[in-house]
A and B are shown apart, each in its own frame.
Chain A
Amino acid sequence: MNKKTALKLFASCYIIVAMFLVASSLFAFLQDSIYFFTGKIKYTDYPLHSLITNDIELTGADTFVTVGVDSQLIIKNYDAPATTLILDMKYDKYPGEVNLYYTRKEGDYSVQDKVYATQRNDGSYAFALPRGRLHDIRVDPTCFKDINIELEHFIINPKISFLNYFTYSGDTIFNYFVVTGLFAAFIAWCISAVNACPKLKSKLDKIIFSIKRKLGKHNG
């Protein structure tokens, strides 16, 4: 394979995968828009008293106190797709790690199905949820005892900006660069292996030629 073909191959792999990424984001945006429109997913300010709790107690209209180190706020049998979860909450002490677990079907929580909170400018905590149906959602607001939490809103599916669909996680970016590179390398090897085998090459050439001719006829 000469240098120019190699470069073309390398670049086109990255461009194709990038296009695929953008297309899937666009698809996600459209899907969510349709879901919002049809009401399949909707903006919900979840009532706090319906949350199932563990090691945490509701002390007022919107205040909680943790009574153990394994505090959990659980929505059981949610069983619908969701985009984002926003918790508008304030702690009276340093809370440590704030995270969320989810399940896809009835069963136990797994550390693999875990999302960390990101704190937004207004101080609220946001969880970007994975796509698809979620069965249970569990928020672990802190791992400390005796912390007072003022939780004003527990919002599922807030409106997300269009641009948000195109901000990619480190995971996606890593996979984009690495997996695409490996994929390009594999294609390059396939091409060189075919070139090295005259019989296979002539057969493939024939097939390509016939496809081209058919396409040409069709167009003509």
Chain B
Amino acid sequence: MIAFLETFISFIGIIVLCVFAIRVFKVSCGIAPIAVLSASMIYFTVMGCFNVLRIGGYIYFAICLAAIVYLIITRHKQCGEPLFTSPAFILFCVLGTVLLVYFAVRKPLLFGWDEYSFWGTAARLTSENNMLYSNVEFGWPWAATQKPGFAVLSYLFNFFGTFAPFRMYFAYDLLMISTACAVIGSLSIKKWHIAIPISLIALIMPYMGVYTRQIFFTPAYLSSYADIPMGLLMGGALAAYYHIVNSRKLTQLWALGAVLGAVTLCKDTGLPLAFIAAGIMVVDIIFCHKNKDFTLGKLKGIGAKISVSISFFAVPVLCFIGWSRYLGTLGVAQGNLGGESNLSPVGLLVNGIKLMLGINDTEITAQYSEKFSTVFSTMISSFAKDKICLFGSGLTLFCFVAILLLCSAVLTKDNTLRKRCVLYGVFSALGFIAYYTFIGFTYVFIFKKDGVNLPDYNRYVGSYYAAMIIGAIALLAIVAANGTRLYDFLTCICILTAGGTLFIFSFYVPKYLSIIDYPAVIYSDSALLEKQCDTIKDVVDKDARIFFVSQNDNGRQWFEYSYALLPNILDYSWGGGRFSAPSVDVGDKPSFKISKDQLAAYLVESECDYLLAQNLDDYFIDSYKTLFSDGCATYTGEPQLYKIELRDGYNIVSKDNIDGEMLQGGSDLVPQKQIRVMPQSEQYLQLIPVFTEAIYE
């Protein structure tokens, strides 16, 4: 209940700012939510970069309070759009509240691998430390440099009280709802019969990546992966643009800079998406507006066109460079994309284009030419063949978009709108080619050997598909609302499209595997994990560092525990996996060959206070049992926590004071790391079991 109220305050804050923008700045009801959320993302990112997130939050809510006071005082003078005759604003408020109540009752937890390995953990770190995750000292041996947009959005909704995953999901979902609001922004309440089907299509779009009947839980609205929300946000920018130019209140175009900036801050692939969206808008500005009609306040004609076009590109670039510079101050690689070749985005494009044109002049291009041809031939064939989204393959999705745009262009009575539909069709397709090529380049240059298998292809391409559909249905809604030929037949097409999309969605996604009706049992593993970790956190100090052993782990459990044990730091511990002494034969199973003395020395040097035995096997017990005061006898298959203690008479004043010899880490599975080896470690170190019973009971 308290968490609900705390989240609700943030939600009210957003609504107040929306109302303020609508009533005072005369922003349209449909655009206000997406613009306010995007601007908040940028604001908190800036505050985070200057390391004043907490203060920034207080200022943010102070502004909200001031806005309330101002709105009350000047209530008679305001003009703006009436709030509750806009289906978009009603949708935002009502669906937002319903969702928040639902989440507060059901309390969903984290689910996917990458939620533990980055998105959820980053959001939690940011919220609990009042600092960007990239700035927090943490058990991960690498720096978290992924873009911060979603983590700070989650911070806004976790600002009061303690972090909870459902508050993070609510933040993301609100952003997706705001996209639907932008899509139906141009429709008044009189056009509710168009608003319902169009908003329904927009709200189904988070399930874009579903392409077959689901047999596992399908998170969508219960996921913190950034790909689909980023695609939707890009689509939202396009939808907002079409609404603005259709309503001819062009000064609102400045707000789109914020949305495009927010797209850039979602993920590394956000920059190309923001550029493509900006490109589509600029083309529209050039071809669909007469110079003399284009006025932005005092700016008029060609000057207005140029300045607004520049701003569409400048804000994403500023956001991108700003974040790179910030990472630079932390001593992390500036702007490079990492991966196999660690090129800069420009280097990636240059080398990629060289390969495309068949110039193998540098070492890099020569090295990758074979991989390049494999990746691109697979990508071209899978575009037409592989079913990867709700509408089938990429090709069928293109046909679907083309049909929608064709219907709009044929049935509209307005010549400008006809031109707009055609331009959108052509340039969103060209944009897709550019984006597809960019994704191809990342498979070639950034992904390692597995790049040829196109890992996570659906997820990456799905972002663009979602954006493309959102743009198309936004145009459809506008054309339908403006009146069409043949008894408003386009409205009927909207309803039929929505019915069809709903049918496919219902057929593919059983409700009990989605947000609508999921059983609590889906989160039982996550709940068990939290329960175990709460038990552990009850007995250890807040700043205790914990070493992790889970024989057989593929890394997932290490990520899960490193999330769930926060604020306690789970030591890197080689990221989970099997340990064994060099003398113990483990057959051909992969294993870190670490001697008992090396392990003991690592525990001391890394200043770990506890060892969490999540899963021990005979190899581990055979190798290291002499370090344990009970010889691992109290380990019964359930997780056990051991306190790491130096024996009486041993006292390590500083690391250099430890007697021993320095070694480079063991087998090739161990990262090259210097470990000190001390003889007879069990003489000075012991691991004492903490629990006498299974720890989750």
Contacts and interface: CB of A to CB of B under 8 A. Distances in A.
6 contacts: A3-B190, A97-B522, A112-B510, A116-B519, A169-B517, A170-B517
B488 A94 contact: no
Contacts of B189: 3
Main secondary structure of the interface of B (DSSP, over half): helix
A188 B197 CA distance: 12
- The 7 residue pairs across chains A and B that have the minimum distance between CB atoms: A170-B517, A188-B193, A171-B511, A185-B193, A116-B519, A193-B487, A170-B516
B200 A178 contact: yes
Interface residues of B, number: 30
A154 interface: no
A178 B511 contact: no
Contacts of A197: 487
A197 B486 CA distance: 9
B495 interface: yes
Interface in A164-189: 169-171, 174, 178-179, 181-182, 184-186, 188-189
A196 interface: yes
Interface string A180-220: 01101110110011001100000000000000000000000
Contacts of A117: 519, 521
B479 interface: no
Interface string B443-477: 00000000000000000000000000000000000
A185 B524 contact: no
A29 interface: no
B196 interface: yes
Interface of B: 189-190, 192-194, 196-197, 200, 213, 215, 487-489, 491-492, 495, 498-499, 502, 510-512, 516-517, 519, 521-522, 524-525, 528
B512 A184 contact: no
A60 interface: no
A182 B524 contact: no
Given A94-B524, A170-B511, A174-B511, A185 B488 contact: no
For A169, A179, A189, the residue with the greatest tally of chain B CB atoms inside 10 Å of its CB is A189
Given A178-B502, A193-B488, A98 B521 contact: yes
Contact of B498 (A94, A118, A182, A193): A182
A96 B522 CA distance: 9
A18 B521 CA distance: 30
A111 interface: yes
A193 B484 CA distance: 11
A185 B511 contact: no
Contacts of A196: 487-488
Nearest to B525: A96
A3 to B, nearest CB: 7
A91 interface: no
Contacts of B215: 111
A112 B507 CA distance: 10
A182 B495 contact: yes
Contacts of B511: 169-171, 174
A189 B194 CA distance: 9
A6 interface: yes
Contacts of A111: 213, 215, 510
Interface residues of A, number: 30
B509 to A, nearest CB: 11
B111 to A, nearest CB: 14
Nearest to B519: A116
A94 B499 CA distance: 42
B528 A94 contact: yes
B516 A182 contact: no
A192 B213 CA distance: 37
A116 B512 CA distance: 8
A186 B516 contact: no
A10 interface: yes
A182 B528 contact: no
B193 A189 contact: yes
Nearest to A9: B193
B519 A118 contact: yes
Contacts of B197: 182, 185
Interface in A134-160: none
Interface string A68-100: 000000000000000000000000001011100
A88 B132 CA distance: 49
Given A112-B213, A169-B511, A189-B488, A182 B499 contact: yes
A193 B486 CA distance: 9
Nearest to B493: A189
Contacts of B516: 170-171, 174
B524 A96 contact: yes
Contacts of A186: 193, 492, 495
A6 B528 contact: no
Given A3-B190, A182-B196, A185-B192, A171 B498 contact: no
Contacts of A10: 192
A114 B216 CA distance: 12
A193 to B, nearest CB: 4
Contacts of B522: 97
A85 B516 CA distance: 23
A6 B487 contact: no
Nearest to A200: B487
A211 B196 CA distance: 33
Contacts of B517: 169-171, 174
Contacts of B196: 181-182, 184-185
Contacts of B193: 6, 184-186, 188-189, 192
B502 A182 contact: yes
A97 B522 CA distance: 7
B190 A6 contact: yes
Contacts of B498: 182
Contacts of A6: 190, 192-193
A196 to B, nearest CB: 5
A186 B200 CA distance: 14
A3 B192 CA distance: 10
Contacts of B200: 178, 181-182
Q: Which of A3, A111, A178, A185: most chain B CB closer than 10 A?
A: A185
Contacts of B213: 111-112
Nearest to B638: A93
A6 B492 CA distance: 16
Contacts of A189: 193, 488, 491-492, 495
Contacts of B190: 3, 6
